[in-house]
Chain A
Amino acid sequence: MSKKWLSFIAVIVLLPAVTLFAMVTGSIDITYTELLMNFFNENHENIGIIKDLRFPRIIIAIFAGAALSVSGVLLQAVMRNPLAEPGIIGVSAGSSFFTLLILAFYPSLFFYTPLFAFIGGMIAFFIVYSLSWKSSLHPLRMILIGVAINALFTGLGQTIGITNASSMINSVQTDMSTLTMKTWSDVNIIVIYGSIGLLLAYLLFGWCNHLSLKDKTLHNLGFPVNRARLFIAIVAVLLASIATAVAGMFTFVGLLIPHIGRNLVGTNHKLLIPFSALAGGLLILIADTLGRTLLAPIEIPASIIMAVIGGPFLIFVLRKSGKLYGN
């Protein structure tokens, strides 16, 4: 059997297995049989608590991971740069800043936060894109501009965090993510918008594949390069902003997973997008589960676990990035 299918089978088996493990692990003890036997039993005391405390964060972790990884895949296709990632180039920071802005000054618009997160993400994306376009998306220049935009929006977000003591702001972290205190209404938002985004992303796999050729070549094949880029970018920002609005900032997942994905299932986006969704969900779920079990009862935020894995990995990718798209 080929490496591609083995990789798919691995994530398809591991995802429910880790989900189950995450469900039974934590301060309330419950066995696998107890959980499975009483799954739909509303009256079972512990099951009810677990459903309200653990299930939302598990679902959110999976969807946030899937959304961020696929967002990374799409941005990498649009920018033709294996280092493009919503966290690194400031899309997540833009989303986060706009979310905080709304919470601080117009708390009544709370339910529209996904929309504002999306607008913030788009603004950050267009600044980076238009500034690095001049250098024909030179990888290093794009990363430098991204770092600058990321720093700007992270700083602005933190300023709001410091100057506003409202409890809602405190619950939304400015520069890290904890998946504690998530409710079923958070789950609804990320499941609805996340699913739409993931579905749209999958439908765009053909366009993502086309973008691996040069613009000139595509132009002379009658392919609307710029329109395709814009569509794909919108979906990428939608995915990143929804994940950021609900789960907070995660860097590196959108870098790590697509890179591993390309090695395992190849560059065809028809396989790369679904694989990245599954593997990304699995990775954040593992990070979150590790974070809350390693030093229990102290919780290490999942984003910190991700940063610790992601940092060294970025160095690894930078050293190899020349080879990714070949010639």
Chain B
Amino acid sequence: MEIKDLTFSYDKQKRLLHKITAHIPKGKITTIIGPNGSGKSTLLQLLTNNLKTQAGQIIIEGHALQQLKQKQLAQMLSVVHQHNMAPEDMTVESLVYYGRLPYKKAFTSYKEEDEEIVDWAIEAVGLSNWKKKLLHTLSGGQQQRAWLAMAIAQKTPYMFLDEPTSALDIYYQYDILQLVNRLNKKEQLTTVMVLHDMNQALQFSDYIIAMKDGELVTFGPPEEVMTEAYIKEIYGIDVILHEDDRVGKFIVPLKQM
């Protein structure tokens, strides 16, 4: 996926994105980081066609994103949004079936193949025992797993996650990120996510896109992007970067005296 000179604003006064150029490598996990208002969510919404590109281009698998039909695009990229909403009496299984919607013709029913893929997706996120359970009876972390299952049931080469760990406790934050990591490795699923936590970005990304004030600060592998100097530039805080045998590099912000 290629991003070229991407620019976006709601009105002329306030520019949300300015000339972003980046590359999203196939089969890898790319994380978009940046402070609030840096334009990271706007970028994700543009990449998933929820906002229309005003200037610049997004190329996915050789096609201009804008030129693709909605259904074609839904067969190429799946998205797990924030603050998802489903009716109270929806089961995990019926939610995951929505992942097969891009392949279904109107007024027809699902095929055997869809059933197999739904079962596979539920199995892959470890919810087989909860398949027939109502979504709202599950914990927040399990619900997020169910939404993830819906996304992978779309069987797309790309998956986008908008702050997948927000509103989850620390156990489920790592639970979800490890699951995302496993899916990426096992299914060669190109993954793009927005994360708030610097250490999580460092631990779980192959590439990082760092943003500030609607502009790209830097783009590259975590060890190049997550330096004390760049973090100062992006977030405006002083940090120390340490290395540990078990976790690799980690970041601790310094307390201002």
A residues lining the B interface (CB < 8 Å): 203, 206, 210, 212-214, 216-217, 219-224, 266-268, 323, 325-327
CB neighbours (8 Å) of B73 from chain A are: 220, 222
A305 → B minimal CB distance (Å): 31
Q: Decide if B89 touches A268 in the complex (CB within 8 Å).
A: yes
Q: Does B218 sit at the interface, judged by CB under 8 A?
A: no
Q: Decide if A326 touches B88 in the complex (CB within 8 Å).
A: yes
Q: Decide if A325 touches B49 in the complex (CB within 8 Å).
A: no
Q: Decide if B84 touches A217 in the complex (CB within 8 Å).
A: yes
Q: Does B193 sit at the interface, judged by CB under 8 A?
A: no
Q: Decide if B86 touches A221 in the complex (CB within 8 Å).
A: no
CB neighbours (8 Å) of A223 from chain B are: 70, 101
CB neighbours (8 Å) of B72 from chain A are: 222
The count of chain B contact residues (Cβ–Cβ below 8 Å) is: 30
- Given A220-B48, A222-B101, verify A214-B84 contact (CB < 8 Å): yes
Q: Does B222 sit at the interface, judged by CB under 8 A?
A: no
The residue that A267 contacts in the complex, of B75, B81, B85, B89, with Cβ under 8 A, is: B89
- Given A219-B70, A220-B74, verify A326-B81 contact (CB < 8 Å): no
Given contacts A220-B74, A220-B79, 12 further A-B contacts (CB under 8 A): A210-B101, A212-B86, A213-B85, A217-B84, A217-B98, A220-B73, A221-B102, A267-B89, A267-B90, A325-B88, A326-B87, A326-B88
Q: Does B78 sit at the interface, judged by CB under 8 A?
A: yes
Q: Decide if A212 touches B101 in the complex (CB within 8 Å).
A: no
Q: Does B165 sit at the interface, judged by CB under 8 A?
A: no
Query: Within the assembled complex, what's the spacing in Å between the Cα atoms of A266 and B134?
Result: 12
Q: Decide if B79 touches A216 in the complex (CB within 8 Å).
A: yes
Q: Decide if A222 touches B74 in the complex (CB within 8 Å).
A: yes
The residue that B50 contacts in the complex, of A216, A268, A325, A326, with Cβ under 8 A, is: A216
Q: Does B136 sit at the interface, judged by CB under 8 A?
A: yes
Q: Decide if B75 touches A221 in the complex (CB within 8 Å).
A: no
Q: Chain B interface secondary structure, helix, strand, loop or mixed?
A: loop
Write out, one digit per residue, whether chain B residues 48-82 have a CB within 8 A of any chain A CB (1) or not (0).
Answer: 11100000000000000000011111110111010
Query: Within the assembled complex, what's the spacing in Å between the Cα atoms of A217 and B90?
Result: 15
Q: Decide if B154 touches A221 in the complex (CB within 8 Å).
A: yes
- Given A213-B98, A266-B89, A326-B136, verify A220-B50 contact (CB < 8 Å): yes
Q: Does B99 sit at the interface, judged by CB under 8 A?
A: yes
The residue that B85 contacts in the complex, of A212, A219, A268, with Cβ under 8 A, is: A212
CB neighbours (8 Å) of A212 from chain B are: 85-87, 90
Q: Decide if B136 touches A327 in the complex (CB within 8 Å).
A: yes
CB neighbours (8 Å) of B84 from chain A are: 213-214, 217
Query: Within the assembled complex, what's the spacing in Å between the Cα atoms of A223 and B105?
Result: 11
- Given A212-B86, A213-B98, A325-B87, verify A220-B78 contact (CB < 8 Å): yes
CB neighbours (8 Å) of B107 from chain A are: 203, 206
Query: Within the assembled complex, what's the spacing in Å between the Cα atoms of A219 and B98?
Result: 12
Pick 20 A–B contacts, CB within 8 A, sort by A.
Answer: A212-B86, A214-B83, A219-B49, A219-B70, A220-B77, A220-B79, A220-B81, A221-B99, A222-B69, A222-B70, A222-B71, A222-B72, A222-B75, A267-B88, A267-B89, A267-B90, A268-B89, A326-B85, A327-B83, A327-B136
Query: Within the assembled complex, what's the spacing in Å between the Cα atoms of A266 and B88?
Result: 9
CB neighbours (8 Å) of A210 from chain B are: 98, 101
Name, among B75, B81, B85, B98, the residue most crowded by chain A CB atoms within 10 Å (CB to CB).
B85
Query: Within the assembled complex, what's the spacing in Å between the Cα atoms of A198 and B85?
Result: 28
